[in-house]
Structure 1
């Protein structure tokens, strides 16, 4: 006969002599205790100023901030799920003192009260880390970027090139209609001021169409197709041009935006199921890390990393009133403008340029502009055959970010009789090269710095410092897409993610 089975007593209706305390249900060292401890230390006056006063009482900003930070720390991003957690999860109940904000309150606090000021809260937490010696704001930071998809519909887009083509089409068709009218009604239009269609606007189009209508009104020979086009132009072109002007204002220097989230730009992203780099509306997130703690974050509407660095560094300085000793980044940030800005600020730039890795393996490509020796004293280049290439002029080139580059031009002599003509220069006449001496100098300095013992250490450390942070946020914690629309709201989401990441790692 087998041993008797004994079960532990179980009576869900049994009363306890003393009620449970939530405090007893939260283990020591639990992340929720870290959130409470840190948020209790920071100054929430910037949030308090967002409240107007009067009316019904509000939940305390410190309580709401704890709810959101711990929510993002536990991968709970939805306001409705946060509402559920506040009513059901022991850790949330303990953290909030049994208060239960509803999802509308949570969403308004996140979207409105934290907008524009969360970076001040984030910087306070980083300063606490610095006070404890966990990070140093004056030492080296590692910078990188990733693209995060907007919640916008990826099939509702506006392209700058398409707007330009549509406006050109209207100009061309309006010019054709005007010439057609002049051919049939030259007498009626003889006193009309000549019209230029180089620049058009809604008022000008209305005026021109009205003149054409008046001139052709009693002309029997006007074709049916022209009448239809005039009717269509009268009804649609002015409104279309107004819409195009508004869209161009929304575009700014961008080349696209989403109709359902105008702040989002279409960027090539690899995180789709085919991994083939589809264009999706999104934002470019930039972070600077140290020992995988996030010291600075910024969100951008441009897909190119090099354009984001100046404002990212300016923000670092504004937040902490200091600058890092060095910035380490990959080749996406290597530009004449960025090297110059970091040099002016006294920051060592351990930043690759676009051909650095290839040069490390293969050396500088023979016959390239960079391979030509430059005599700075007499301002000439030396061609591969040892002949002087005389300076023939200077010019300027303006980048998409507005940075002005000085370009010098040099021309070789006797290229036609040169035995290296085929491999050195295939164009007609003597070879002409354009050189940005500032960039050339910056690249040489960057190369020397990156190949020092310290530079090699930084190059090895960079992928292990900043890239795992993106892996944590996007893969381990499932944040691949924003929940909110608009730059100000998505910045709040990134701020909460960054705070949660730092507190999670602080605990670890």
Structure 2
């Protein structure tokens, strides 16, 4: 039995097949073409959106934007690989009308339009709102670490500098001690003083470099520095410590579309709830907003700020126990007297306000009261018991009651916000590492990646034909 045979390479045709006939009507590239065609690139801030009247004509930024969106869809982020796709991929040939820009032109377009890519993200979110894909009833906020280009070996911290300096001091002291011993004991073997002095000079120069670095970092008020990428930070990631950025996303519950994102240098999420919630509220143009986040966002100041802004947050409380021993009375065993601003202990004694310290109100019992208390063995080992109360303790209490009334918000957050991060890391980024350096480059890449993710998510929900109808 013969094999299935193809057409001969030398076969000619009276009516050649056009590229448009090869691309199906419901193909992805048709959506990308319709989407970019409806954008006003001049308003979004793209470079060369208005061509000059003289000189060599530039490439249309719309064509290069189509190329990048297609590339991030297909996990192709390298400008050299995108250049190759222009010359061999029939889908890209259709999308760009057979244009084939070189890799430098492609790379410069991404480098020069960082702000415009973020504006394009926001524009697509507004389109999703008009299409009914984003409701804004519930938004989940979360953060994840994305590795930077720099290696962890390029990381410098004041802690490591001080440790290495101490090691050098000990080595220098040992060499000097050996020289003193040789001077005191004439029977010792002859010491090569020139070699020792050479080593001492190198060690001293290295120590001076460490001291200079520490002084410079103290002056700049920084505790760590990456020599090849100064904007990145050493952060705790699931795989251990890594040089990375902390990417924050706000995801709408209706269709898991990312309505707002930010690339930050913060190693944790404690200071991200208020800025992310307020930015999302501004994007959705809603006076009231409901958000949920994990315990890493627990922050009394931010709870209060969200309440003041009309944002109802659901965040599990994460704070210290304020007790010396888990068998002792905890904060919840003490009753707060709001009228007199004091606490009452389980034995009926009062703890008045002692002082304010870095956002904490400290209440302390009288030493005589604690000394004669029959419950002291269950309360403290010190002379007296003290209680710390946060300045925004009422906000913590409101959050606690809110979470007790709606415990399902914990599972809701997980199902809404972790799916997009999984896609971004595996589908778009592969190993979760940025290609561009510095905070500006990381934000550029993340804007492109989220634009591609949102577009694909909208296609999955509406279908290609419906998307094209809405974009027309």
Do these two structures clear the TM 0.5 threshold for a shared fold by scoring above it? yes
The alignment partner of 2:115 has SS state of coil
2:351–2:363 contact (8 Å) kept in structure 1: no
Counterpart position of 1:33: 30
Counterpart position of 1:389: 351
Counterpart position of 1:126: 125
- Cα deviation, residue 343, structure 1: 1.4
Equivalenced residues, count:
428
Q: Answer with 236-245 or 67-76: which moved more.
A: 236-245
- Cα deviation, residue 101, structure 1: 1.4
Picking from 333, 354, 368, the partner of 1:371 is: 333
Counterpart position of 1:502: 454
2:364–2:384 contact (8 Å) kept in structure 1: no
CA distance in structure 2 between the partners assigned to 1:90 and 1:246 by the alignment: 54
Counterpart position of 1:159: 157
Counterpart position of 1:292: 256
Picking from 375, 394, 398, the partner of 1:445 is: 398
2:149–2:437 contact (8 Å) kept in structure 1: yes
2:281–2:289 contact (8 Å) kept in structure 1: no
CA distance in structure 2 between the partners assigned to 1:167 and 1:318 by the alignment: 49
1:118–1:492 contact (8 Å) kept in structure 2: yes
The alignment partner of 1:348 has SS state of strand
Structure 1 residues 479, 43: CA separation in 2 closer, same or farther (over 3 Å shift)?
A: farther
- Cα deviation, residue 475, structure 1: 2.5
**CA deviation digits over 1:460-485, x for unaligned, max 9?**
32111100111111124425111111
CA distance in structure 2 between the partners assigned to 1:166 and 1:155 by the alignment: 15
Aligned 1:15-26 pairs, distance under 5 A? 15-26=12-23
CA distance in structure 2 between the partners assigned to 1:320 and 1:450 by the alignment: 24
Q: Does 1:266 align with 2:234?
A: yes
Structure 1 residues 243, 417: CA separation in 2 closer, same or farther (over 3 Å shift)?
A: closer
Aligned 1:205-224 pairs, distance under 5 A? none
Structure 1 residues 9, 239: CA separation in 2 closer, same or farther (over 3 Å shift)?
A: closer
Q: Answer with 261-270 or 27-36: which moved more.
A: 27-36
Structure 1 residues 94, 267: CA separation in 2 closer, same or farther (over 3 Å shift)?
A: same
- Cα deviation, residue 304, structure 1: 0.8
The alignment partner of 2:355 has SS state of strand
Counterpart position of 2:415: 464
CA distance in structure 1 between the partners assigned to 2:13 and 2:219 by the alignment: 67
The alignment partner of 1:415 has SS state of helix
**CA deviation digits over 1:264-315, x for unaligned, max 9?**
1011222xxxxxx421100000000013111011011111111223333344
1:326–1:347 contact (8 Å) kept in structure 2: yes
Counterpart position of 1:426: 381
Q: Answer with 26-35 or 142-151: which moved more.
A: 26-35
CA distance in structure 1 between the partners assigned to 2:116 and 2:355 by the alignment: 46
Counterpart position of 1:354: 318
Q: Does 1:14 align with 2:8?
A: no
CA distance in structure 2 between the partners assigned to 1:389 and 1:7 by the alignment: 90
CA distance in structure 2 between the partners assigned to 1:52 and 1:17 by the alignment: 39
2:67–2:96 contact (8 Å) kept in structure 1: yes
**CA deviation digits over 1:437-479, x for unaligned, max 9?**
41x2112111221233xx3343332111100111111124425
CA distance in structure 1 between the partners assigned to 2:408 and 2:434 by the alignment: 35
1:64–1:109 contact (8 Å) kept in structure 2: yes
Aligned 1:192-271 pairs, distance under 5 A? 243-248=213-218, 252=221, 255-270=223-238
Counterpart position of 1:307: 271
1:339–1:442 contact (8 Å) kept in structure 2: yes
Counterpart position of 1:330: 294
Picking from 435, 444, 447, the partner of 1:483 is: 435
Counterpart position of 1:77: 77
The alignment partner of 1:305 has SS state of coil
Picking from 361, 366, 386, the partner of 1:407 is: 361
1:141–1:324 contact (8 Å) kept in structure 2: no
CA distance in structure 2 between the partners assigned to 1:461 and 1:5 by the alignment: 58
Picking from 220, 239, 242, the partner of 1:280 is: 242
1:142–1:329 contact (8 Å) kept in structure 2: yes
1:257–1:281 contact (8 Å) kept in structure 2: no
Q: What's the TM-score once normalised by structure 1's chain length? A: 0.76
- Cα deviation, residue 157, structure 1: 0.8
Q: Which runs of 5+ in 1 are unaligned?
A: 172-223, 271-276, 359-363, 398-404
The alignment partner of 2:400 has SS state of helix
- Cα deviation, residue 80, structure 1: 1.2
CA distance in structure 2 between the partners assigned to 1:249 and 1:136 by the alignment: 48
Counterpart position of 2:88: 88
Structure 1 residues 267, 55: CA separation in 2 closer, same or farther (over 3 Å shift)?
A: farther
Q: CA RMSD in A?
A: 3.4
- Cα deviation, residue 241, structure 1: 5.3
**CA deviation digits over 1:371-398, x for unaligned, max 9?**
311010112211122222223x22131x
Q: Which runs of 5+ in 2 are unaligned?
A: 170-193, 461-472
Q: What's the TM-score once normalised by structure 2's chain length? A: 0.81
